[in-house]
Amino acid sequence: MLVRSGILTSADGDAVAVENVNADGAVVLVCEHASSLLPTAAGTLGLSSEALSSHIAWDPGALAVSRLLSAKLDALLVHQRFSRLVYDCNRPPESPAAMPEKSEIYEIPGNRDLSVAERYARTAAIYVPFHDRISAELASRAAAGRPSVLVTVHSFTPIYFGKPRAVEIGILHDTDTRLADVMLDGAAEAGRFRVERNSPYGPEDGVTHTLRLHALPAGHANVMIEVRNDLIANSVDQEVMADYLAGLIADAVSSVGRQ
Ligand SMILES: [Zn+2]
């Protein structure tokens, strides 16, 4: 018996999606929280439709902005097709946040007391193929002598535990600050949005897993971008934000390339 069977069926499709496969640009975009979709076998996880469409299930607007960035930067885009409620691909399997029993104000009944076999099945079906694909793309680029710059794209909720968040864009990094430093300088110069370093949370909260897994060991310049989701709630605002971010990213990539 395959333990992973029963999580994803052929009707659900693949866990990972890749767009702009033949992109020429140096940037590789990753969107771990692109979708609120649940595999059929997961049901509703015991959640209301309000919870299932909220920020606990996905990063609203993040995939739309990622797709615009992919076009503007001619960048490969890898995104997860299923909700982070089933498996949060920006967390390692040993983290309680990978399959959370609670997220902000919501209890998640379908994630309560998961057995080792259930945790393994979700990891094997959702997490492993996602990160294997990113590894494979980065490896094939390296083999072809092409540089890669890893940029992960997220959105965050404007109100968390009842408190409004003033920061509009977070530029997050782990131990490699090269790209983030230049982007933060560029943002300060532009003065257009309230942009902050490692905000509204940072590496101490365990949010740099994808960067740590794929970029740091190989020395790829990298950054994680967090956009407050009320700023990317419609296609006009998404276009404005993607334009702004594409400018910051492109300048930072060329600056780091010159170092
Ligand atoms: Zn996210």
The CATH number of the domain where 168 resides is what?
3.40.630.40
- The mean pLDDT of the chain is 95
Query: Taking the complete model, does pTM exceed 0.75, yes or no?
Result: yes
Task: Indicate whether 52 belongs to any domain.
Answer: yes
Separation of CA 157 and ligand 1 centre (Å): 10
Separation of CA 84 and ligand 1 centre (Å): 9
Separation of CA 88 and ligand 1 centre (Å): 9
Task: Indicate whether 191 belongs to any domain.
Answer: yes
Separation of CA 109 and ligand 1 centre (Å): 21
Task: Indicate whether 249 belongs to any domain.
Answer: yes
- What would the pLDDT profile of 195-205 be if each residue is shown by its tens digit? 999 999 999 99
Residue spans of beta strands (DSSP E) within 81-233: 102-103, 106-107, 149-156, 159-160, 163-164, 169-172, 195-197, 222-228
With b for 16 or more beta-carbon neighbours within 10 A and e for fewer, the 177-187 pattern comes to bbbbbbbbebb
Task: Indicate whether 121 belongs to any domain.
Answer: yes
Separation of CA 59 and ligand 1 centre (Å): 5
Q: Which domain holds residue 240?
A: 12-258
- What would the pLDDT profile of 182-224 be if each residue is shown by its tens digit? 999 999 999 999 999 999 999 999 999 999 999 999 999 999 9
Task: Indicate whether 6 belongs to any domain.
Answer: no
Separation of CA 155 and ligand 1 centre (Å): 6
Residue spans of beta strands (DSSP E) within 49-97: 76-80
How many domains in the chain? 1
Separation of CA 258 and ligand 1 centre (Å): 30
